[in-house]
């Protein structure tokens, strides 16, 4: 069984704007899917951290920012993430993740007191059927990641209506009307997280209607990097 996740790094100027105001950053690669295709693994994390150090000097006129790079085997595995980072997470103000949207949100759930921002846009997720037990959707691979604006919680995947500008009138005490009030309202979760981070200005931001052409279904990815069973060439 093969799972294919395609990610694409955000423009450097967007990433620099995203991390503005943070002094201690960890660029975190994922040696799982993103690393296999050599777009978000440890080497790419090191390259991005070097570019950010140069950008901080030239764009933000900051000389003393702490920007380091690391990688974990899979950012979508809570235990792997916790074991890899629990002893060093306090050294950083922010984590810049190079994993897919599911990985970004997993790291954010494991370390809820640390902002986790996306360095990439998730473009495509495809997999063969396999019985794995319960699964919880965290990313739609919409190709236009806004997790930096929503506290590391994806409204596209986790809001039943994929709303971009706050909750609808159907939530009651933080629960969503869709599904019989069993699931948390994504936008209530987002509000609480942004309030915790002192970023409620992001909650009030007006977001335009999403360009659905970016992720129009059904999709095929042609001419990409072929997977041969390992991370090497």
Residue-wise DSSP of 79-146: HHHHHHHTTTGGG-SEEEE-S-HHHHHHHHHHSTTS-EEESEEEEEEEE-----S---------S---
Mean pLDDT of 55-64: 81
SS3 assignment, position 27: strand
Q: Where in the chain is the domain with CATH 3.40.50.1860?
A: 3-140
pLDDT at 227 over 60: no
CATH topology of domain 3-140: Rossmann fold (3.40.50)
Residue 100: exposure state from Cβ atoms within 10 A (0-12, 13-18, ≥19)? buried
**What letter does residue 69 receive in the DSSP assignment?**
E
Sorting pLDDT into bands at 50, 70 and 90, what band is 38?
A: confident
Mean pLDDT of 146-164: 94
Torsion (CA) 148, 4, 210, 170 in degrees, nearest 10: -80
Q: What percent of the chain has pLDDT over 70?
A: 86
pLDDT at 33: 83
Distance CA 123, CA 223 (A): 14
- Packing angle, helices 78-85 and 101-110, rounded to 10: 60
What integer best gives the mean pLDDT of the chain? 86
Residue 21: exposure state from Cβ atoms within 10 A (0-12, 13-18, ≥19)? exposed
pLDDT at 233: 40
Sorting pLDDT into bands at 50, 70 and 90, what band is 232?
A: very low
pLDDT at 214: 75
Sorting pLDDT into bands at 50, 70 and 90, what band is 28?
A: very high
Mean pLDDT of 157-174: 94
C-alpha 106: how far from its chain's center?
A: 8
Backbone dihedral angles phi then psi of residue 14, each to the nearest 5 degrees: -70, -40
pLDDT at 104 over 80: yes
Q: Which pair of tokens denotes residue 16?
A: 């620099």
Give this prediction's pTM. Answer: 0.77
* Residue 214 bridge partners (DSSP): none
pLDDT at 129: 46
């Amino acid at each position: 069984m093969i799972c294919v996740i395609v990610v694409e790094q955000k423009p450097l100027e967007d990433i620099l704007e995203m991390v503005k105001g943070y002094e201690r950053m960890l660029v975190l690669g994922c040696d799982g899917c993103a690393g296999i295709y050599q777009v978000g693994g440890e080497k790419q994390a090191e390259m991005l951290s070097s570019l950010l150090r140069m950008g901080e000097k030239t764009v933000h006129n900051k000389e003393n920012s702490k920007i380091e790079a690391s990688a974990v085997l899979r950012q979508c595995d809570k235990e792997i993430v916790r074991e890899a980072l629990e002893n060093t997470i306090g050294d950083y103000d922010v984590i810049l993740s190079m994993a897919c949207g599911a990985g970004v949100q997993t790291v954010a759930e494991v370390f809820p007191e640390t902002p986790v921002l996306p360095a990439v846009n998730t473009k495509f997720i495809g997999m063969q059927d396999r019985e794995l037990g319960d699964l919880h959707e965290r990313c739609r691979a919409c190709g236009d990641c806004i997790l930096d604006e929503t506290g590391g919680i994806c409204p596209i995947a986790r809001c039943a209506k994929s709303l971009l500008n706050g909750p609808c009138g159907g939530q009651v005490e933080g629960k969503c009307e869709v599904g019989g009030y069993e699931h948390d309202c994504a936008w209530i979760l987002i509000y609480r997280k942004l309030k915790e981070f002192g970023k409620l200005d992001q909650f009030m931001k007006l977001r335009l209607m999403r360009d659905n052409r970016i992720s129009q279904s059904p999709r095929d990815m042609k001419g990409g990097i072929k997977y041969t069973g390992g991370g090497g060439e």
